[in-house]
Each structure stands twice: as structure tokens, then as C-alpha cells.
Structure 1
């Protein structure tokens, strides 16, 4: 780890040209820290203080893993099956037409013929995508004099009730599927997603920092790390604090706040022979490849790397063998380059402010890299993150 630690020190020493601060951790299946480090400050604002390990991070899309766990818990309760049609439960989504086009600001419609299932939602194969990532949806928004955006209210049924871009099961694209999965969890369990996560994930693992609503947990709000924004000149400036207004409801795709200690409690639990949150068979499904070789889903997964997971595979998809599980991107064969390594069997995903988590059950470790810098795929942060992960898998794992 010495080479990473040297890079860590240099990144923090570069001021607004480098990385303001980061917390990194590696845990084993007992939940013990194999490695833990924190350096830098809680932002670049006036009055920034030294970062410590108890600080709160905006998790963005790292929220999705928590929602996947909640959804599989709901399956375990026999409230839904993975392949049941969701027409009755999520009509705001399932009645949406499919939009095609987008060239020269044109688009057309076709009626969907296949039902969406929870499996489709958890594997991003439902056709529900972020509007700013699709040209047809962008044209549709413009035709309505609307701006493509990510929901800040958390009211999924209203903010994300928009056309889908392909038939369920016939593609892959990152988007709003996990937000809809969170709404499904809330409806089937007759409680808000926040309440569900508190009762069924936070309390069983003894965690206190998980929340979508900072006002409900003052100790979490008071520890919030400030967002830093990288400008076109490469310099960091202070971002909005908090990064988004407090939501009305909760979206399962983003919006959760937590500290690194609590998030790694979840990662460690997924490594256990007898997990607390899920049955072992359900954890297996998180790690199970969902797309057939040569199928439309797998082809689309490779084709859509640039806007979605490229930083998680070392900035290049050349030679990689991947799939998608029910919990994130799944590495099917070692990604081994001179300066980057990610082993076979790793389940992984990231979050907008350049966070990263990875789990590998064969090697018995999980890791988290937490920082608050936007925009996504910041080259300074991603270089450091890649060095951290590479050092973990090459030097700490069995």
C-alpha cells in the first residue's frame, strides 16, 4: 500500500489542483478493518477542517445497492417475485410507451409489449433511463419545454413518469430503474423507503447515519462533508451545501447520506457465510450475471460504458469481460493492466461525487473510496481511486 499512500499524500498536498479530502476503507467478512485511512479536508471552502472517518457523505448512486438489498428482502417476504409483472404495482411506469428517434430533435412512439419485472429494474434492463443520457428523451423534454434533470423531490411516480427507451429485457441502460424499485419496496411494505431502510437495514446492523432527510438526523447533517466542484481550469471551488434540497420522498436510485463506517457494515455483511440482511441465496443473486452471452442486454452493457461504468474498469473496456448482477456491475474475468487491477468476481458501482465501492467474495474483502468532488469521472480523483483499488486487490487480498 506504500505506493498508494504516497499518491494519497501528494493528491492532498496539491490544494485546489488535487483532491480536497478522502476516506478509504477495506473490510473483511467479520466487519473488521483490514485497512483504513483518511486524509485532507472536508472541502475547499473557507474554514474547511481536517477530514475524519465519521464524516457524512452524499452517496448518490451508491444508494442503489441499498435499494437492491431492500428489494430482495421484499422478495424473501413473498410480497413479490423477481419475474412477476409489475403492472399492478407501478402503473405510472408500466403504462409508459417506448420512445425511439432523437435524431434532429425528432422522435416517435411504439407501444410496449413486454411486462417489466423486478429483475429488469435491478439489472437496468427495464428501459427506464435518465432522460439526459438519451437523445430521444432529450428531444421529448425539449418538445415540452422541459429540461432533462435528475429528480430532487424524490417523488418517483411524478418526476420519472416518462417514456422508456426499449422493451423490458431487450437492452441495458443506466437510469431510473432503482428509483422505481425503491417505490415498489415502499408500496409493498406499506411504509416510506426511509422507514423501511431504517428498520430493516440500519437497525439490524447497528447503523445510525443512513438517511435521505438530513433534518431528521442532526448528527448526520452536522458531519456533512461539503461538495467541491472542479472547474474547466482544473481548480476546485466550493459547491452548494447541502448538495441538493431535502427531498419530499425518497428515490431508491440516489439521495442517501451515510458515513463510510456504516456503508462498509453493509458491504461486510454481504461477505458473510451467514449474512444478517439477506439469505445467502439472495446474496448469490446480487452477484449472479443476468445477461446471456450474445444477447441484447449484454451488448448494450458494453456499448454504454462511456457514460456509466468506464471509471470502474480502469477507464478502458478493451479486453474486459463483464456482466451485470442484481447489485451492480460484475467483473467476470480479471482486469489486469500494468497500473490497474480488478479481480474476477468483483461486484462494483460508484456515485456521482466520484465515490466507489467493490466487493469480492472469493477474496473475502470489500472496499469503499469516499470523496465529494463533482463532476463525475474527475481525472484527479479517479486516478487516486484506481490506485487505491489496485493496491487493495494486489497487496491485501488473499
Structure 2
């Protein structure tokens, strides 16, 4: 899907009248000033059933948001990093239940926070080692400093744990994480975290190549994701969007400019958890590879059984049974987690239209995707509003899309 050209939606099993509801929904979001711009692409059975963009990529410069606008995808980077990890798994370089310390020895003697205060945090030894599976499923006990909910989150901020920082190295940042206490015992709770960034260093150490080089050469390049990278190449800068946030009056204000931006040059640290920029067409190519069980246009990136393992729920139940909701990338009830994606377990419990086995994730700037193997369906939403909890647009788009299925 190198180009996003609509075909007859009836051939993809959609009601044209149903899909037509998406366009006015998009227009309302822009007209009411809730978003500056956005694009939606819906693909099924290898066909693009819907592809549309509207609004502005840059309000100050009056740059239109188009289907090839380059956006910051933030945490939608995580599934690509997880694919890189599983490629090395297929080479027999590790097992999922291996301690990550076999490759990253700085994680050998971890401690877990159990109480105290900011002046003195009380800890106990980890009862078992962090495994590769723990990192892939966010059950390692790591966290994010921006959560601002626990004493461990505060320690991440105090010690400068920021994988989007423009100085230092990936190895240094990972070593900094390993020196801090865990939020929970490994395997005992689900906490969204820097785990996928740590996996970037794991890939670098196992492959003997810088993580950014490995991802470009083994995942991004073979997929033909020509506009996806850890920075915006000079020739792509005219297509790069600005990012916005709401002020107190719920008006859009500039969060990051489309020209004066750190994304205009290669970062010091390639964040496997949130560093990529991409386009709708590029990310649909990634989705197609997953739907095709590891292959795209004759190029195989992963084996069929490996992809099936990634799409399986690896938690003992849903997220609600293993954590406390603290962010907006997914609801917790009825949703599990695989190796790099959330996994729909029960649409009724999740209280949203969907299919068991469907995988999904989103990014900080309200981008989102989901892949439904049972329906041979993939949807990519690109936009530019921080944070992703500001609007319920992901859930609204899911309803509009699934309601349009006609077969």
C-alpha cells in the first residue's frame, strides 16, 4: 500500500453510506477547533476503502493536512521495536523467559520500591529477574516519569530518565533506568513504561548495531516505509506537521513547531518507545505486514507463528486485573496485552465495538491504529493533539468504522 488510493468500499465489504459518516465527523472536529487537522485510512482485504485528510498541518503557515503529512507517532513506535526484538528471537539469540540481564547485565540486581518518601525510598530485592517477555508486555516493574503518580515516577524525573532527550546515549539512559527501583515485582502488575526503550538497547547489544540502524535496515526499510525515521529528513520538512495542545480556554496552542523542532535533526537517542515520525501510508504498510502474518510484497520479516504469538494475550487476564488506569492509550477492562500491542479480549467488557484478537495502540499526539485479523481490517488515524486523553476520537472512529461493515 505505497499509495492510499480509495477503491470501491463495497468490494471490501463496507457500506458506502456507512463509511461516508467518517468524513463529516472529521470535518466537525476541525470546524469546531478541536483538532487542527487529521487523516483517516481504512483498509480491508488488501483494499483501501476510505482515505481522507482535512484541516491544517500547520495553522500559522496554513499548510493543509494531507494523506502524506509526516506526523510524530510517539508510542506507535513500540510495535516496530517489538518486531525487531522478535526477529532476533527467531534467530535463536534468546528465549522470552530469559533474564534480560544476560544481555544487559546492569539489570542483574534490581530492587523494588515498597514505601518510604521522596527523601528515603524503602526497597526490597526483586523476587525474580526481569525477563524479555516482561519488557514486551510492560510487566517488568518499570515506569515513566511523566506519569507523576508514584515515588518511583518522581525518581525517574529526578534522575533525568527521558528517552526523547537530545543528549546522551541509549546505553547511558538504559543504565540510568537499571539503577532505579522498580515500581512493582517483575510480572506482578501492568505498568506502561520505558520498557520498549530498554528493548531498543537490548536489540543493539544483541545485534551489534546501533538500534536506529538495525530498525531502519531490518524493519523500516524492508517494509518500504519510506517516510518513517527518528527524524524528518530535509526533503520531508515541508510535509511535517506542527503539534498542538489545549490552553485553559480549550483553544489550540502550539506545542511543537513544524520547522523549529528537535525532529529536524537526528536525535542523540533513538527511542524505541516513542521516537519515530511516519505517515498514514507507511503505517498502513506495517499493518498489512501484521495482517499477512509477517510478510509484505514478497518480503518476510517474521514467521507466521511468531506473529500469532505476538498477537496473543500474554497476561493472566485483562489489564484491569493487573494495574490501575493512569493514561489514555487504552481502556483496561476487557483488554489484554501481547508482545507490543494491546489485545481485545471482550468487546462487551471493554464497552466498545471490536473483535476478540484485534490488536491496537496509540501515541501521545492522539495518533492511533488497530488491526483486526478476523475482519482483515486495519485503520490508521493520524493527527497532532497532545495529550491523547484530550478527546475520545479513537473510540468514536472505532464505532464509525465497525458500524460501516456490511458483510
Q: Give the CA deviation at 1:11.
A: 1.6
Residue 283 of structure 1 pairs with residue 307 of structure 2 = yes
| CA offset digits 1:176-234 (Å, max 9, x no partner) | 110011111111111122211221112222221121133xx323333211111211210
Q: Give the CA deviation at 1:130.
A: 0.9
SS at match of 2:201: helix
SS at match of 1:199: helix
TM-score with structure 1 length normalisation? 0.86
SS at match of 2:379: strand
> Residue 107 of structure 2 corresponds to which residue in structure 1?
93
Question: Is this contact kept in 1: 2:164–2:274, CA < 8 A?
Answer: no
| CA offset digits 1:253-306 (Å, max 9, x no partner) | 111111110111010111115622211111111111112249xx7622xx3223
What is the alpha-carbon distance in structure 1 between the residues aligned to residue 192 and residue 153 of structure 2? 15
Residue 299 of structure 1 pairs with residue 299 of structure 2 = no
Mapping of residues 66-85 of structure 1, within 5 Å: 66-85=80-99
Out of 273, 284, 287, which is 1:267 matched to?
Answer: 287
Q: Give the CA deviation at 1:357.
A: 0.8
> Residue 326 of structure 1 corresponds to which residue in structure 2?
339
Distance 1:139 1:263, change over 3 A: closer
| CA offset digits 1:79-132 (Å, max 9, x no partner) | 222111121311233433222326676521112231111111100011111133
Distance 1:251 1:102, change over 3 A: farther
What is the alpha-carbon distance in structure 2 between the residues aligned to residue 128 and residue 306 of structure 1? 14
What is the alpha-carbon distance in structure 2 between the residues aligned to residue 94 and residue 359 of structure 1? 36
What is the alpha-carbon distance in structure 1 between the residues aligned to residue 36 and residue 154 of structure 2? 37
In the alignment, structure 1 segments of 5+ residues that lack a partner are none
Residue 359 of structure 1 pairs with residue 371 of structure 2 = yes
Mapping of residues 36-51 of structure 1, within 5 Å: 36-44=51-59, 46-51=60-65
Distance 1:192 1:104, change over 3 A: closer
TM-score with structure 2 length normalisation? 0.84
Residue 180 of structure 1 pairs with residue 198 of structure 2 = yes
Mapping of residues 185-196 of structure 1, within 5 Å: 185-196=203-214
What is the alpha-carbon distance in structure 2 between the residues aligned to residue 74 and residue 128 of structure 1? 23
Q: Give the CA deviation at 1:337.
A: 8.9
Mapping of residues 190-209 of structure 1, within 5 Å: 190-209=208-227
Distance 1:280 1:390, change over 3 A: same
What is the alpha-carbon distance in structure 2 between the residues aligned to residue 118 and residue 336 of structure 1? 29
What is the alpha-carbon distance in structure 2 between the residues aligned to residue 329 and residue 343 of structure 1? 13
Mapping of residues 159-178 of structure 1, within 5 Å: 159-160=173-174, 161=177, 162-178=180-196
Deviates more, 1:357-366 or 1:4-13: 4-13
Distance 1:3 1:28, change over 3 A: closer
Distance 1:207 1:376, change over 3 A: closer
Residue 112 of structure 1 pairs with residue 134 of structure 2 = no
Deviates more, 1:87-96 or 1:164-173: 87-96
What is the alpha-carbon distance in structure 2 between the residues aligned to residue 19 and residue 11 of structure 1? 6
| CA offset digits 1:12-59 (Å, max 9, x no partner) | 122xx32110011122353x3121111111032x21211111111111
> Residue 55 of structure 1 corresponds to which residue in structure 2?
69
Question: Is this contact kept in 2: 1:174–1:308, CA < 8 A?
Answer: no
- The count of aligned residue pairs is 375
Distance 1:68 1:146, change over 3 A: closer
In the alignment, structure 2 segments of 5+ residues that lack a partner are 1-18
Question: Is this contact kept in 1: 2:161–2:173, CA < 8 A?
Answer: no
Which runs of 4 or more aligned residues in structure 1 lie more than 6 Å from their structure 2 counterparts after TM superposition? none
SS at match of 2:114: strand
| CA offset digits 1:116-171 (Å, max 9, x no partner) | 111111000111111332412145468xx656755424734333423221222121
